[in-house]
Amino acid sequence: MSQQNGWVKPDFASGSKGNTYSIKKQSSRKTHLCDSSIMKQSTETNIEYASKPVNSGELVVQKKKVAEVKHWLELAFSTSHKAQFLLLTGPPGCGKYQTLSVLCKELNIEILAWDEPIKQYGANEWEYGQYNPQHHAEAKQADVNFYDHLEEFLERAGRFSTLKMKHAKCSGAHKSPIQKILLLKDFPPMIFKNLERWHNILLKYSQKRRTPAVFILTSTKSFNSTHLKLFPTVLSERLMMSTINFSGLANTFVLKALQRVSLKSKQATPPEVIEGIVESCNGDLRSALNVMHWITTSNANISKPSAYSKKRKIVSDVKTDSLNAMYVRDGSLDFMHAIGKIVHSKRLTQFDQERLPDLPKHLLEEFRLPLKENVNELTKNIGEVSSKVLLYLHQNYPLYFNRIEDVSKAVGYLSSADSLGNQLVHKEIFDECSLLIGVRGLLFSNTSVNGNAWRPLRKPDHYSVLLKQKEFHLYAQELYRNEYGTSFFSEILPFVRLIRPELKSTAGLKCTSNNHQLNLSTHVMGSQNSAFIPDIDPAGENSDVIIEDYDD
């Protein structure tokens, strides 16, 4: 403790002992990469070495995103001080940190990262010695400490001169003035305990206008809630925080990166294997690299044909036996893919006879073969709001059914799902239930075998209908101001259109016209809506007959 001459230990090897704050510099970047990646070996391996991008040209992130980050960095160190906070979000392994670090290197900016201390805060010798002598060791609660810790980090890191003094030794002699940014990368769960405190810390920090800070938030499924909790909109407005959203890497990007790495590492990986990895990695470059590393290490034993067969398996069937598929990742499915799986409702044709239940006679017609998919896994991995999934399912399911009886059952389940999902309390639970009911209902009720015929999946009309409703509502309000209940549209408006000739052509359901298309005049809606009624056949005779019948 007495030897402690700075609050940062220059030696990273001993970092685990009483680790407080570590300053990441170019030289230590590798260590950091190892921290965040799942890489088993932390020593330099060929692949890892080769995978590190050296300049911004080598980054596999979208060029536009790179440019955005660069622009922000330049702005942050311009005199205007417009930019002080930046939030990078995106799925894991899409290169958020790499982009930042490479750019910083190019712009000669130092990254000052905050590491979550490993040890109990109370036992921290530095704190004990200087800061809060009365709050000793175990008496303190970890989370309270945590905030103190964070705050102090921010405060200290902001104080430029202090840092420089303490660091002169390890960061070397800088000819140019050092530019620094703060990096907060991992948000420990403790942070949610006292969000107010966290927000206050941020605000306090922003008022002092010091070193720009970058936050990196890995967005998972619950992206929205975490994001909003940590940085509510009001707060981010006050902080003038800019947000850059990374998306998962496109497969071609990952492919390119893997090919380059395999070239560099001089360990030839068969192209089929690379392709297989790319397919299964879901835009996560880090995991793709890990898998590739894993495969190449054991490459000596694997002959080419066997690797090939593995790859085929992946393409044809995502959920293969985990033993066989080395590089299959059971991450989230592509949204449309999942919808397709549900509406297709494939069943096994070969199965273990003994495992089938004995159904009593009256239930025999409810018998179904086992499903090919694990539904619980499927719904878990969809990763979208359940109401959106239900809408997509609803839009597309009838095409996959042959019998109206099945359809009526299926849509009955959808209706139950919707009314169940529309709850204000315990929303998450109900949402999950409603999704499961909808999905399982559809799977269960479909008894027709559809084969593999390709049918396009459509976007739900629901949204466009809602939009039109709103427009029409506004239009009607303008037209006829003093009555505006719901009965207005069904009771009064149709007649008003007939009575007032100047309105005759507008906003009507033109059902007497031959082709049954409802023409909304361009004056009201702006655009024709041919897309939104799926092929109504232009058989007009039917309706004319009906009208006559009725009038007699």
Partner 1 sequence: MSLWVDKYRPNTLAKLDFHLEQGERLQKMVTKGNFPHLLIYGPPGAGKKTRVSALLRELYGPGVEKLRMEHQNFTTPSNKKIEVMTIASNYHIEVNPNDAGIYDRIVIQEMIKNIAQTQQLDIGGQREFKVVILTEVDKLTKDAQHALRRTMEKYMTTCRLILCANSTSKIIAPLQSRCLAIRVPAPSQDDIIKVLQMVSKKEGITLPADFAIRLAEKSERNLRRALLMLEACKVQQYPFNIKQEIVEPDWEVYLRETGQKMVSEQSPKALLEVRGRIYELLSHCIAPEMIIKKLLKEILKNCDGQLKAEITSMAAYYEHRLCLGNKVIFHIEAFVAKFMAIYKRFLEESFANI
Name which position in 178, 407, 433, 479 contacts partner 1 (CB under 8 A): 407
| H or E element in which residue 261 lies | helix 251-264
Does 25 sit near partner 1 (CB under 8 A)? no
CB of 492 to partner 1, least distance (A): 7
d(CA 238, CA 224): 19
Binding mask 142-181 for partner 1 (x = CB under 8 A): ----------------------------------------
Q: Which is nearer to partner 1, 130 or 419 (CB)?
A: 419
Nearest to 292 by CA among 270, 277, 312, 307: 277
Evaluate whether 390 touches 434 at the Cβ level (below 8 Å). Answer: yes
Q: Which is nearer to partner 1, 57 or 494 (CB)?
A: 494
What are 532's two structure tokens? Answer: 């939104």
Does 547 sit near partner 1 (CB under 8 A)? yes
d(CA 517, CA 423): 37
Name which position in 41, 419, 514, 528 contacts partner 1 (CB under 8 A): 419
Site of tokens 């799926």: 534
Q: How many residues bind partner 1 (CB under 8 A)?
A: 73
Distances (CA, A) of 523 to 471, 480, 484, 519, 527: 12, 16, 21, 11, 9
CB of 180 to partner 1, least distance (A): 37
Does 472 sit near partner 1 (CB under 8 A)? yes
Q: Which is nearer to partner 1, 73 or 410 (CB)?
A: 410
CB of 465 to partner 1, least distance (A): 5
Name which position in 264, 468, 479, 506 contacts partner 1 (CB under 8 A): 468
d(CA 110, CA 114): 13
d(CA 62, CA 412): 44
Q: Which is nearer to partner 1, 320 or 529 (CB)?
A: 529
Does 134 sit near partner 1 (CB under 8 A)? no
Does 457 sit near partner 1 (CB under 8 A)? no
Per the DSSP assignment, residues forming a β-bridge with 214 are 86, 183
CB of 84 to partner 1, least distance (A): 25
What are 3's two structure tokens? Answer: 């030897």
Does 49 sit near partner 1 (CB under 8 A)? no
CB of 65 to partner 1, least distance (A): 31
Q: Which is nearer to partner 1, 4 or 387 (CB)?
A: 387
Per-residue H/E/C for 325-359: CCCCCCCCCCHHHHHHHHHHCCECCCCCHHHCCCC
d(CA 165, CA 174): 12
| Backbone phi and psi for residue 105, each to the nearest 5 degrees, phi listed first | -65, -45
Does 380 sit near partner 1 (CB under 8 A)? no
Does 433 sit near partner 1 (CB under 8 A)? no
Binding mask 482-521 for partner 1 (x = CB under 8 A): x-xxxx-xxxx-xxxxxx-x-----xxxxxx---x-x---
Site for partner 1 in 260-299 (CB under 8 A): none
Length in residues, the chain = 552
